[in-house]
Structure 1
Amino acid sequence: MNSQKNVLPLIVISQLFCTSLWFAGNAILDDLTSSLDLQENALGYLTSTVQFGFITGTLIFALLSIADRFSPSKVFFTCALLGALANLSITWQGNTFLSILILRFLTGFFLAGIYPVGMKIAADYYNKGLGKSLGFLVGALVIGTALPHLLKGVKGDYSWEIVLIITSSLALLGGLLILYFVPNGPYRTPNNKLDIYAILKIFKVKPFRSSAFGYFGHMWELYTFWAFVPVILQYYTKMHPETFFNIPLLSFIIIGVGGISCVLGGYLAQKVGTKKIASISLSLSVLCCLISPVLFFSNSQYLFVLFLIFWGMVVIADSPLLSTLVAQNAPPKFKGTALTIVNSVGFAITIVSIQLTTFLREVSDTPVILIVLVIGPILGLISLRNKKAY
């Protein structure tokens, strides 16, 4: 069962199931708001708390070289189990806003052993065609991230707790699939020693730095856009009262469609080049950020939704390609640590971006604030201009 042909679908399915934990809190925000009488800025706090947990987890995992020193499959399963428990605990009726924030932090912390470790497992199995493989893998992350919105949109008369029960069950199943059917890959380079200077050694490699900074620019835009998709749709309906959206379902489509672009980008990268396709995606993101405020004044809800779907595709298409460049430019024995620390820094940037956008929304509730997202893809493009990042 551990041939390359069989392993990729298993990793993809497991990643999809486990990453459904990520935005589970956002999908049920309206219900939590009603239950706990939360304020508008709760969205920013809930999203940033998960990101902060992920950052903390990835930083610790990177410093201790967890993904390089221990079996990635066992690390993946353990974190899937603990993340599922943290997510499920939100259903406890005695929760307060503070306890929910703590549980979302823990969920993010354990996601540090799922997303980057899943990429490490893929890199251990696929030496050639890594971009295509990570395209499928990040595509699964995208759909997994969007899945709670779909569950919320179609749950009918069921309580909001069902969203958390389903996502927690899927995460546990994903962890079990990896544990039992995906052993250590043939290209894994064993590294049993703890090297506290590993991160410094990694960042001394110039092509790695260029790729990493390209990824950091991409992350400034990505999760803020995802977090604010429901808010963007709500704002459009306020400007155009005659419009009706099924916001959870549309949020799933706008975010989830990025999974298709990840796969497509992986195939195109094999023909055109990884860095070139990543740069094109970043350029299209710049365009979307700049013209987004104008589209709010369009009376065509179909044009507006199509624009958001297109933005949802280009905002993530470069992610697996930039991760591929990071993995290819990292020292082989520190590949897991490299992917983890880049994720850590990248998600730290998302907190700044989300909180800045949340603050700007409180100061001026206009669509013009979305232009602030353009900072990331522009800086990412500048970083990728380094010819040493192949």
Structure 2
Amino acid sequence: MLTRKIILPVIVVSQFCCTSLWFAGNGIIDDLVRTFQLEVTALGHLTIAVQLGFIIGTLLFAIFSIADRFSPSKVFFTSAILAALFNLCILWESNNLITLLLFRFLTGFFLAGIYPVGMKIAADYYDNGLGKYLGFLVGALVLGTAFPHVLKGITTGDQWRYVLMATSLLSLTGGLLMFSLVKDGPFRKEGSKLQLNACFQIFKNPDFKAASFGYFGHMWELYAFWAFVPIILKEYLQLHPSIDFNVAHLSFVVIGIGSLSCVASGYISQHIGTRRTSFMSLLLS
């Protein structure tokens, strides 16, 4: 059995691999528009499809206590496989906007069994200093989200399909790592029964309510920014023809550098508390 020092890197790597699916569509949006003859507004639709899938998936996973009633590692593994498969469905040559939206929605839906469940697995292993460990996991999410831009930057022409293949392969790898190496943690508490009213009960806790609405507000700006970073950079190049840079690579840097902040904030929270750390991060953002 792996020690707790090894468990965290495994969870982090798995999280990174699987969350590379999140913005795989955004990384190749120009290719999707050209290949499937979409309107330029498709970026907004495809982005919201993933987020909507993730929101609904997370809500249903929580209502039915999926990660409490079943082994979290198995939930993570199953979700990683299904998300990878729906990500690959974008390669279908007969796709149109409706089918692309459906496949991105389903990819987002099963990401709900990856990102939150990965954090649940970490909580099952680390009862003390959880903020520090979650900093690494959220950092892995940020880096995974940015990674499709790296893949796009090293492809040309019709090679955009390799971005989808690579991210799906990464998701499969992350799921296998979690399933084969990470067993149920020592602090895991199994759910005893289905509680459909749990989502209403937990909002009676003022601390949970405050944290949830703070997170909700932050997500509006964060995902809007992440989605439009490449668009902003392309517009900048058009306005300044004398300047040249690789949009995909710079998009990765702009988005991915947030992973360093996540890790740093995890350590900072150990000294000044999670409330003050969150307040300062939200304010500065």
TM-score, normalized by the shorter chain, greater than 0.5: yes
- Higher mean displacement: 269-278 or 13-22: 269-278
- 1:102 partnered with 2:133: no
Query: Paired residue for 1:198?
Result: 198
Residue 97 of structure 1: how far off its partner (Å) = 2.0
Q: How does 1:215-254 map to 2 (within 5 A)?
A: 215-254=215-254
Task: Tell me, in whole angstroms, the C-alpha distance in 1 between the residues paired with 2:207 and 2:2.
Answer: 32
RMSD of aligned alpha carbons: 1.2
Query: Paired residue for 2:46?
Result: 46
- 1:137 partnered with 2:137: yes
Contact 1:50-1:106 at 8 Å conserved across structures: yes
Task: Tell me, in whole angstroms, the C-alpha distance in 2 between the residues paired with 1:210 and 1:94.
Answer: 45
Which residue identity lines up with residue 61 of structure 1 in the other structure? F
Task: Tell me, in whole angstroms, the C-alpha distance in 2 between the residues paired with 1:116 and 1:98.
Answer: 27
TM-score, structure 1 normalization = 0.71
Report the secondary structure of 2:159's partner residue.
Answer: coil
Which residue identity lines up with residue 198 of structure 2 in the other structure? A
Contact 1:70-1:192 at 8 Å conserved across structures: no
Query: Paired residue for 1:166?
Result: 166
Task: Tell me, in whole angstroms, the C-alpha distance in 2 between the residues paired with 1:156 and 1:43.
Answer: 20
Query: Paired residue for 2:183?
Result: 183
Query: Paired residue for 2:10?
Result: 10
Query: Paired residue for 2:61?
Result: 61
Query: Paired residue for 1:87?
Result: 87
1:312-355 CA deviation, whole Å, 9 max, x = no partner? xxxxxxxxxxxxxxxxxxxxxxxxxxxxxxxxxxxxxxxxxxxx
Query: Paired residue for 2:70?
Result: 70
Task: Tell me, in whole angstroms, the C-alpha distance in 2 between the residues paired with 1:221 and 1:126.
Answer: 30
Query: Paired residue for 2:284?
Result: 284
- Higher mean displacement: 61-70 or 12-21: 61-70
Task: Tell me, in whole angstroms, the C-alpha distance in 2 between the residues paired with 1:170 and 1:272.
Answer: 36
Task: Tell me, in whole angstroms, the C-alpha distance in 2 between the residues paired with 1:7 and 1:157.
Answer: 40
Task: Tell me, in whole angstroms, the C-alpha distance in 2 between the residues paired with 1:247 and 1:162.
Answer: 18
Question: Number of paired residues?
Answer: 285
Residue 119 of structure 1: how far off its partner (Å) = 0.6
Query: Paired residue for 2:37?
Result: 37
Query: Paired residue for 2:266?
Result: 266
TM-score, structure 2 normalization = 0.97
Residue 158 of structure 1: how far off its partner (Å) = 6.2
Which residue identity lines up with residue 272 of structure 2 in the other structure? V
1:185-219 CA deviation, whole Å, 9 max, x = no partner? 11111112101111122111111111111111211
Task: Tell me, in whole angstroms, the C-alpha distance in 1 between the residues paired with 2:3 and 2:153.
Answer: 38
1:227-252 CA deviation, whole Å, 9 max, x = no partner? 01011112222322322231111111
Q: How does 1:308-327 map to 2 (within 5 A)?
A: none
Which residue identity lines up with residue 118 of structure 2 in the other structure? G
Which residue identity lines up with residue 112 of structure 2 in the other structure? A
Residue 282 of structure 1: how far off its partner (Å) = 1.3
Task: Tell me, in whole angstroms, the C-alpha distance in 1 between the residues paired with 2:35 and 2:241.
Answer: 27
Which residue identity lines up with residue 248 of structure 2 in the other structure? P
Which residue identity lines up with residue 211 of structure 1 in the other structure? A
State the percentage of identical aligned residues.
59
Query: Paired residue for 2:127?
Result: 127
- Please list every run of 5 or more consecutive structure 2 residues that lacks an aligned counterpart in the other structure: none
Residue 281 of structure 1: how far off its partner (Å) = 1.2
Task: Tell me, in whole angstroms, the C-alpha distance in 2 between the residues paired with 1:245 and 1:186.
Answer: 49
- Misfit runs of 4+, over 3 Å: none
Which residue identity lines up with residue 189 of structure 2 in the other structure? T
Task: Tell me, in whole angstroms, the C-alpha distance in 2 between the residues paired with 1:55 and 1:267.
Answer: 28
Which residue identity lines up with residue 180 of structure 2 in the other structure? Y
Task: Tell me, in whole angstroms, the C-alpha distance in 2 between the residues paired with 1:96 and 1:44.
Answer: 15
Report the secondary structure of 2:39's partner residue.
Answer: coil
